[in-house]
A and B are shown apart, each in its own frame.
Chain A
Amino acid sequence: MIEVRNVSKSYHRDSLLVPVLNDISITVPEGEFMALMGPSGSGKTTLLNLIAGIDKPDKGSIKVNGTDISTLNESGLAKWRANNVGFIFQFYNLLPVLTAFENVELPLLLTNLSKKQRREHVEASLKLVGLADRMKHYPKQLSGGQEQRVAIARALVTDPTVLVADEPTGDLDRVSASEVMTLLDRLNKEFKKTIVMVTHDPRAAEKAHQVKHLDKGELT
């Protein structure tokens, strides 16, 4: 379960302090699929980053499965992220010099798994997203939809409890977007992954159980 309590966050832009989130409280039950929607600059991605432990709140607390991540230091957060969260980005963010297999293997390099065990995990993840036959392909040899599915396999490979997705269909055509959303839906239903997704796409949001709207840093 994710519990966000009275969280506020501001950013410094030159000498200006720009408030982004203002006293946000939100609960995401375990196994939930939640969509965050809102206009650009409303604070969706900032809230997602806070939930994922990428950023820290100025005020308030964020508990994920009982761990108050707002109190962890940088290295503690890095370890927590590696063990608990899978990330899916709008532009996939695969390393172009690594193959699909190597990209998916990345998070496992921080674990104590043997090479054989890593191979098994990577193959299972790529099979799950339907790309078992593209392991040796480099990102530039894949379509956008395939790249995003490799990114999802990378997010899944450590078997995290939480998946965070920042506009996962934002850079995809309608067919690829639909495939990605079907995959996320399956991960939520079959594998009981808690998913928090930022999106502008109403069709993507339809797959979520719960949709929260943000505007000017506040839930509406």
Chain B
Amino acid sequence: MFVLKLVLKNALRHKLRTFLTILGIAIAVMSFGFLRTVVTAWSYGVEASAANRMITRASVSFIFPLPYAYKDQIARVPGVKTVSYANWFQGVYKDAADFKNFFPRMAIDPETYFDAYPEFIVTPEDLKAFRAERNACLVGRKIANEHGFKVGDIITVEGDIYPGRWDFVVRGFYTGRDASTDETQMLFHWKYLDERIKELQPSREGNVGWYILIVDDPARMTEVARTIDAMYLNSRAGTKTETEREFQQGFVSMSSAIIDSLEVVSVIIIGIILLVLANTIVMAARERTTEYAVLKTIGFSPLHIIGLIAGESLLIAGIGGALGLALTFPIAGGFASMFPTFFPVFNVEIITIILAALVAGLAGVVAALFPTIRTLRTSIAEGLRAIG
């Protein structure tokens, strides 16, 4: 009780210094938390991958299409339960310079897509309306809220990969089952795309971007992948079949330099937290050399002294860390609303909170280490002489 009381009084001895140290730690922890959230958001697709979902794409590159004819052949492969498919459409919606107008637009198979992605929740009414109309689309709840889309609205997109003006009628919305589910996509009929492209560029008809497979047993994924890829080994359009997780990691690895940089900056921030706090604690302990010597003279044990120094360090680190974490949420929220489609999911994860709290706590312990050892090694006689 006495140690706690003295820790508090000591921490408030130089109010400005303590305040600035807490502020420094708070800003550093907030930056750490924000960067970790960016890193997490970058790889949300990997985390959201289903254990029984696989992707078959062109072996040369993801940007090359695969024949629609593969669908039934893949469906017959032992272990494959469901096959769906999709195409990246892109296009330009309204002003391309406005970042909020960039959201994923994909052509899908309305009959199978939601079986392959059960985390996309669509009401039976919306799904029925969507399936019934060739140029209908379903919009993710987040992007619908952002743009104020309502059922019956027409979304006009100027095509780029697929030229022409494309009108889509909003027939419903989907919501995410999990916090990590992407709610920023616009999904429409693949057949609408295929029929129109047949008129505009007949050579591109009958192609899909990639196949989505649900397997009945995740243990058979390697076998399924080997079988499918062997089927098309010598064909014009070879395939590469992999787990959804591997497929998503492929995307993330394209940005590995950026992610690595963010990781390095995170580590630097941890160093900054440590230096800011260590500087304060070293100064404080040095100023109190005589006081610690007096306490030892009176009979206080080394444990009391450790408690006083480490307690002050942990108190400052704790307040700074808590403040930093509290600031991380509005900062992340502000970023997410400024760039709603840049990261489909931008949440401060529990693991980020735990990591930031651990970093602050660890900094508190490490910062106290050197001054504690120094104080304990200083004899009482030396400590008393430090008064000058």
Contact = CB atoms under 8 A, between A and B. Distances in A.
Contacts of A75: 301
Chain A: interface residue count, which band? Answer: 20 to 34
A110 B291 contact: no
Interface string B365-388: 000000000000001110010010
Contacts of A52: 297
A49 B298 contact: no
A101 interface: no
Could you say which of B10, B295, B379, B380 has the most chain A C-beta atoms within 10 Å of its C-beta? B380
Contact of A93 (B2, B379, B387): B387
Interface string A152-168: 00100000000000000
B298 A110 contact: yes
B354 interface: no
A32 B380 CA distance: 26
Given A91-B387, A109-B2, A78 B296 contact: yes
Could you say which of B2, B294, B301 has the most chain A C-beta atoms within 10 Å of its C-beta? B294
Interface in A87-101: 87, 89, 91, 93, 95-98
B128 interface: no
Given A97-B10, A97-B13, A106 B295 contact: yes
A97 B6 contact: yes
Interface string B280-294: 000000000011001
A78 B384 contact: no
A1 interface: no
Contacts of B12: 97
A154 B295 CA distance: 12
B296 to A, nearest CB: 7
Interface in B272-331: 290-291, 294-301
B294 A54 contact: no
Interface in A69-109: 75, 78-79, 81-83, 87, 89, 91, 93, 95-98, 106-107, 109
Contacts of B198: none
Contacts of B13: 96-97
Contacts of A107: 298-299
Contacts of A82: 298-299
A215 interface: no
Contacts of B290: 93
B308 to A, nearest CB: 11
A55 interface: yes
Interface in B1-39: 2, 6, 9-10, 12-13
B299 A81 contact: yes
A153 B298 CA distance: 13
B147 to A, nearest CB: 59
B164 to A, nearest CB: 77
Nearest to B10: A97
A93 B290 CA distance: 8
Interface in A28-66: 46, 49, 52, 54-55
A91 B387 CA distance: 8
A93 B294 contact: yes
A147 to B, nearest CB: 13
B381 A54 contact: yes
B298 A106 contact: yes
Contacts of A87: 294, 297-298
Interface of A: 46, 49, 52, 54-55, 75, 78-79, 81-83, 87, 89, 91, 93, 95-98, 106-107, 109-110, 154
CB-based closest 7 A-B pairs:
A82-B299, A97-B9, A93-B294, A54-B380, A78-B299, A107-B298, A109-B2
Given A93-B290, A95-B6, A95-B291, 9 more contacts: A49-B381, A54-B384, A75-B301, A87-B294, A87-B298, A93-B291, A93-B294, A93-B384, A110-B300
20 contacts: A49-B380, A52-B297, A54-B380, A55-B380, A75-B301, A78-B296, A78-B301, A79-B299, A81-B298, A83-B299, A89-B384, A91-B387, A93-B294, A95-B6, A96-B13, A97-B6, A106-B295, A107-B298, A110-B299, A154-B298
